[in-house]
Amino acid sequence: MARLDQRILKLEAQYRERVWGGQRLKAANPPIGEAWIAYGPSVVANGPNAGKTVDELIELDGAGLLGAEASARYGKRFPLLIKFLDCKDWLSVQVHPNDEQARRLVGPNEFGKTEAWFFLEAEPDARILAGVKAGTSRDALVAALRTGKVVDVAETLPIHDGDALLIPAGTLHALGPGLLLYEIQQASDTTYRAYDWDRPMSAGRKLHIEESVEVTTTDPACDLARPVVAAPTGAARAVSCDYFDLDLVRVAAGEPLASSTGGRAFHIVSVVDGRVELRSGGEAVALDCFETAIVSGAAGDYTISAAGGTARLLRATPA
C-alpha cells in the first residue's frame, strides 16, 4: 500500500473575484473577495508532492494525510474548507443547511455548513448580522424572508480585531464592510441567499428564498469570543464545535512551540502575523503571512518557530 512521503504540505492559495471584495488579499480588478487556502482541491506547493492536490494525496494514503480518527470518520473526503475574506462591502444575507438538510436538498453525499469566523482586522464601526433578534417568531421570520425585510429581524453585532464567532448551520448571517477575516467551515459551499442589498441578480448571485425559509432557525448566534488572547508562546482555543476546533497560536522569537497531531488528525496552520518555520522529521517549511500548510495526521510531533519577531497563526483541526 502506498504511503504519503511528506509530513508538511504547503498549499497554494486560490483567489476568487467577488463584487464585495477589496484589495488586501491581492490587488486586482475585479476585486478579490476570497482566498481559498485549504480544501480538497488545494494544490501542494512544496516537496515531492508539489503540483498534486490534497484530494489526490488522500486517495494515495488517506490515513496518512488525514490521520487515523479523521480517516475513520470522513473516509476519502477532506472535511474542511478554509478561506481568508476581504470585505469592502456587505456580503449577502445568507444561511446554510445542516447535514440532514444538505443531504435532502442538495444530494445524498453532501455536508451541511457550520462555519466560524476569526476577525483579523476590523475598521471602526464594523458590523455583522448574526442570528435573529430575541423574540422573533417563526411566522415573523418567514414573512421577513419572503418580503425582502430580513434585515429588520436580523441581529447586528459590532466587531473588533481578534473577535471569533461560531455560525451554526441554520443561522442567518452577513459580513459587513471593513472586515478582513479567516473563515473555517465544513467542506461545503452550499449557500442560500436570503437578501442581497438590492444588487441585480445574475446567474451566479441568485436569491434562494424558499430554501432560506426551509433552513433558517430563530436561534440567536453563539456569543462572540472577545477578543481571543494567547500567551507569548502558546495556544488559546478560539472556537470549538462538532466539526472542527480552532486555536489562536502565538510564538515568540527564540521560543519554539512543540506540537503534535498525535496520529489522530491533520493540523492546518495559517500564518496571520509575521513568519514561521514548521519542522517535523527532518522536514522544514517556511510560511510567510497569509500562507498555509497542512501537517499530515501521521506526522506526529512537530515544532513551530517564529522567524524574526513574535508570530501569530491560526491552527485548525477536524473534530
Instruction: Tell me the average pLDDT of the chain.
Output: 96
Instruction: Supply 198's cell numbers.
Output: 438590492
Same fold flag, 8-215 and 234-318: yes
Q: What is the dihedral of CA 240, 241, 245, 246, to 10 degrees?
A: -50
Pairing mode of beta strands 8-11, 127-132: unpaired
The gap from C-alpha 145 to its chain's centroid, in whole angstroms, comes to 26
Provide the residue count of the chain.
319
Most confidently modeled of 1-10, 147-156, 218-227? Answer: 147-156
Structurally, at CATH architecture level, domain 234-318 sits in Sandwich (2.60)
- Cis amide prior to 30 (ω within 30 degrees): yes
Q: Does position 203 have pLDDT exceeding 90, yes or no? A: no
Q: What is the mean pLDDT of residues 93-99?
A: 98
Evaluate whether 86 touches 23 at the Cβ level (below 8 Å): yes
Residues whose CB is less than 8 angstroms from the CB of residue 200 and which lie 6 or more positions away in sequence, other chains included: none
- The pTM assigned to this predicted structure is 0.97
Domain ranges of the chain: 8-215, 234-318
Q: What is the mean pLDDT of residues 306-317?
A: 96
Band of the pLDDT at 220, cuts 50, 70, 90?
confident
Closest of 295, 296, 294, 276 to residue 286, by C-alpha: 276
Q: What is the mean pLDDT of residues 170-187?
A: 98
The pLDDT, as a whole number, for residue 200 is 84
Q: Does position 204 have pLDDT exceeding 90, yes or no? A: no
Band of the pLDDT at 201, cuts 50, 70, 90?
confident
User: The dihedral of CA 261, 296, 33, 173: what is its sign?
Assistant: negative
The pLDDT, as a whole number, for residue 189 is 86
Q: Does position 202 have pLDDT exceeding 80, yes or no? A: no
Which range (136-150, 202-216, 230-244) has the least confidence?
Answer: 202-216
Catalytic residues: 193
Residue 215 CB-density burial (10 A; 0-12 exposed, 13-18 middle, 19+ buried): buried
Q: What is the pLDDT of residues 8-59, one digit of tens each?
A: 999 999 999 999 999 999 999 999 999 999 999 999 999 999 999 999 999 9
Band of the pLDDT at 1, cuts 50, 70, 90?
low
CA distances from 112 to 106, 214, 246 (A): 9, 14, 19
Structurally, at CATH architecture level, domain 8-215 sits in Sandwich (2.60)
Evaluate whether 25 touches 35 at the Cβ level (below 8 Å): yes
Residue 47 CB-density burial (10 A; 0-12 exposed, 13-18 middle, 19+ buried): middle
